[in-house]
Amino acid sequence: MLDTALSYAQNAIELDPTDARGFGELGFVHLYRKEHDAAISAYRRALSLNPNNADLMSDYADALAHAGSNEDSIALLERAMRLNPYFPDQYLWHLGGAYYNLKEYDKVVETILKMNNPTEGQRVLAAAYAQLGKMDFAREIAAKHREAHPNFSLAHWSKVVPDRLEEDTQHFVEGLQKAGF
């Protein structure tokens, strides 16, 4: 499936090498193929073509966090939020993930609770609560996540999460396990 996505993204940038979104999609595919340098390069190219696209900045920031550059990720997300003050929840989800990698769990909670629909942020929120020792909250959020995503598998997720650093993946898995996943 990722091979097909890569082919489509490459085709898109061949058809229009000035379209920033095509490079953004290429960056996304490379990220989930765990090709971090290629992902970052594609996102940089996308932003060189459209330097004020806040959504691309958010996606690039997520790639930076997964590559271990959490401070850069946070700075880019803050810039994206200034450019688009009506940003979607995805920006907060990405920001929460970067804070989690930095073990700034209170900031994770504060950030994720600002989401309009925190369903997608539930995993990082539960893990942060667990790392803070707030087990009742962690288990409550984990239970809500199971209702929304009954087929979620921690074993599968830990194999596909696109972290460059194994310690980032293990740190998140530890939090999720503490929370009851």
Could you read off the pLDDT of 11-51 as tens digits, one per residue? 999 999 999 999 999 999 999 999 999 999 999 999 999 99
How many domains in the chain?
1
Read off φ and ψ for residue 34, nearest 5 degrees. Answer: 60, 35
Name residue 125's amino acid: L
Q: Which residues contact 135 (CB under 8 A, 6 or more apart)?
A: 129, 178, 179
Asked if 175 contacts 130 with a C-beta cutoff of 8 angstroms, the reply is yes
The Cβ-side half-sphere exposure at 61, using a 13 Å CA radius, reads 27
In a domain, 51, yes or no: no
pLDDT higher than threshold 90 for residue 175: yes
Domain range for residue 103? 85-179
Q: Tell me the C-alpha distance between 8 and 130, whole Å.
A: 40
In a domain, 5, yes or no: no
Four-residue CA torsion sign, 13, 95, 100, 69: positive
Model pLDDT for residues 68-97, shown as the tens digit of each residue: 999 999 999 999 999 999 999 999 999 999
In a domain, 12, yes or no: no
In a domain, 109, yes or no: yes
In a domain, 1, yes or no: no
In a domain, 57, yes or no: no
Model pLDDT for residues 96-105, shown as the tens digit of each residue: 999 999 999 9
DSSP character at residue 93: H
Residue 99: CATH number of its domain:
1.25.40
